[in-house]
Structure 1
Amino acid sequence: MIHASQLETARLVVRPFVLADASLLAALFADPAVHRFVDDGQPLAPDVAALWIERSAANLERFGYGTGAVVERVGGELIGWAGFARPGDGSEEVIYGLRRASWGKGFGKELLAGLVAFAAERGITPVRATVDPDNCASVHLLRWAGFALAEPSYRGDAKADLYLHVG
């Protein structure tokens, strides 16, 4: 079920970030396996996590959706982030990430399927994602969800391939 401010799947809820999430995000990003393929590959400092939450709230207010906290329905524990980022060129991209302890449990597939359905319901087209070609797990997940490689080395960046959802 998709709501204006959150996305729900069978086991997960993507809800708007709250300020208290900043320390949890910073802790999640402290794991090198988690932050390896995100942004510049560095851990997320607490002040940057707070800024990310602030920008996510602004996007939610402006567009009605954005990036939020991924929490398990049972227990409500924050296990990652997901939603739509706006890289500044007018486009929107699907983004997602989960803590290492949540890998291999099907959460990624569930989350990405929910994001694609959300995009279809909202008329977000094309549904795009950029991924480091060395991030084999994410590349596999995108292909499973119906994304195809559209542009290797997107915008001249060897660490960013552009994928588009094709069905």
Structure 2
Amino acid sequence: MNTGKTPNRSLLYVALLAATLMAPGPSYGVEPDEILEDPQLEERARLLSQDLRCLVCRNENIDESNAELARDLRILVRERLVAGDSNDAVIDFVVDRYGEYVLLKPTTTGANWLLWAAGPIMLLMSLLTAGVFLRGRKRASETPETELSEDEQKRLKEILDR
């Protein structure tokens, strides 16, 4: 027989709901003073910022990063958009200034094609090497063993008798 008090289930549900609501959500690095007044330009800036890498945080886009350089890049993107640049022109400007590493999704032009093709090329080379190796092993096991000649048998007997 349980003599202790049982907790009220509705109180537990309320506590769980409160804990869930107080849990931290995703935080963005965009500060209120950076946000543009024109909602269309701000939306374009956010889309562009998601494709640009924070050079301090490495694998984080500048929209989520709190680094100073990411803030500078966000402001630069917004300045270029206010100046009337297209999305491609803004990306080209940032890439010209900071290099192609700033793109989270690098292009497949220039020397980057080798990086994109390296994985499949290495896979094909390893499959080819494995095929040649297995074919060679199969041929080696198919060759019949030859008996020793009489001279070889005499020489072997002399060596073993010593």
TM normalised by structure 2 equals 0.24
Structure showing the higher strand proportion among its residues: 1
The two structures have a TM-score, normalised by structure 1, of 0.24
Structure holding more helix per residue: 2
Q: Which is bigger in relative contact order (C-alpha 8 A, separation at least 6)?
A: 1
